[in-house]
Amino acid sequence: MKAISKAPCLYLAYLSIAIPLISIAIAILLSDWFSITNNALSDLGHATRSSVAPIFNFGLSLGGALIIYVSALCIYKTSKAFSVVGFLVGFTLILVAVFDEIYRGLHFKVSVAFFLSLAVFLVAYGIYFRSYLPIPALTVAILAWLIHFAYNIPEGVAIPELVSVFATAPFYIDTIKRLQANS
């Protein structure tokens, strides 16, 4: 497997984040019923209750596929560990889209797996780069989930979901930059 050059890797890494976020934003804009404080983002992907499910689920699937692609072709040669963690993040993101809310319990399990994979990524970043920088990001993400589950604030999980993604994204991009610089 031949690694691809640095610029396309970084470009693909940015796309792997932007595409799901843009699809989420479009789905929200097209859904007058959606509330960021009262819903889960996955409500947008419910195949029978959401007219924007194709937009939402396709965006998540494509983003997950791009994360896997970046992990396999841009990271693997430099760091097999980050490649595996990246694959896990990308694969679980695809599973969230494939097993939408129609699947109920299964959807919940793959969603938990996705958000846990983001936490694993932050821990891996800290260990691999010997950095304490991801600790505040991980702490904020965990606190967002704890506040939701302990106090039902906010009522929906869209905000903790977005907090987790935005807490991890800069470390994902930095990983690609650092590992590409070392290749």
Report which residue type is found at 40.
Answer: A
Structure tokens that stand for 116 in this block? 């846990």
| Domain edges within the chain | 6-181
pLDDT of residue 180: 81
**pLDDT range class, residue 5, cuts 50, 70, 90:** low
Q: Are 70 and 176 in contact (CB under 8 A)?
A: yes
Q: Tens of pLDDT along 79-127?
A: 898 899 999 999 999 999 999 999 999 999 999 999 999 999 999 999 9
pLDDT of residue 3: 54
pLDDT of residue 179: 86
Q: Tens of pLDDT along 33-92?
A: 999 999 999 999 999 999 999 999 999 999 999 999 999 998 898 889 889 999 999 999
**pLDDT range class, residue 2, cuts 50, 70, 90:** low
Q: Flag whether pLDDT at 1 surpasses 90.
A: no
Radius of gyration from C-alpha coordinates of the chain: 16
